[in-house]
Amino acid sequence: MSTGAWEDRVAALWDDETIDAEQRIERMRELADAAPHPAVGAFELGGAFDSGGHEAEAHEHYAAATAAGLADVDPVRAARMVVQHASTLRNLGRVDEAIAMLREAPEHPSTGVAPRVFLALALHSAGRQDEALRVAIEAVEPTLPRYNRSVRNYAAALTDG
């Protein structure tokens, strides 16, 4: 199967709202086996487990995607995986690992400010509410039509002092 056809099948599977999570996982297993690169297949299968609520299995596949070189093979998926994998780690109670991963997340157009939003969630889970709120505010501040300086100052004051 060509890479384009494989990508189309993966996109169609993600868009299919007529199947349940377990069916998506099973179909994604087949697609992962036929992936143009093992790292890409592991990422997509990890995502299927993740969206199905199977965080431990998702973590295994995300780790396999990293080990297989996803960052070199598909930078767009690699950027998305940081968000997904860190969220999975947070859900597994591995909050400090999630925070560290999200702090190192690359900026990428495919994720926008999502790494910062998920960092705020992880910080909140760690009981660091002021820091979480600061990160969230700083993530959205550039999108405000005005009050930017005031918002930046208020955000900084949350953790300065």
| CB-based contact 33:4 (threshold 8 Å) | no
pLDDT of residue 33: 96
Residue type, 22: E
Query: Does the pLDDT at position 1 exceed 80?
Result: no
pLDDT of residue 161: 60
Query: What does the pLDDT average to over 153-159?
Result: 95
Q: What is the pTM of this model?
A: 0.90
- C-alpha to C-alpha distance for 153 and 160, rounded to whole angstroms: 10
Q: What is the pLDDT of residues 31-55, one digit of tens each?
A: 999 999 999 999 999 999 999 999 9
Q: What is the pLDDT of residues 87-104, one digit of tens each?
A: 999 999 999 999 999 999
pLDDT of residue 108: 94
Per-domain residue ranges of the chain: 3-96
End-to-end CA distance of the chain: 59
pLDDT band at 24 (very low <50, low <70, confident <90, very high): very high
Q: What is the pLDDT of residues 57-116, one digit of tens each?
A: 999 999 999 999 999 999 999 999 999 999 999 999 999 999 999 999 988 999 999 999
Instruction: Identify the CATH class of 3-96.
Output: mainly alpha
pLDDT band at 160 (very low <50, low <70, confident <90, very high): confident
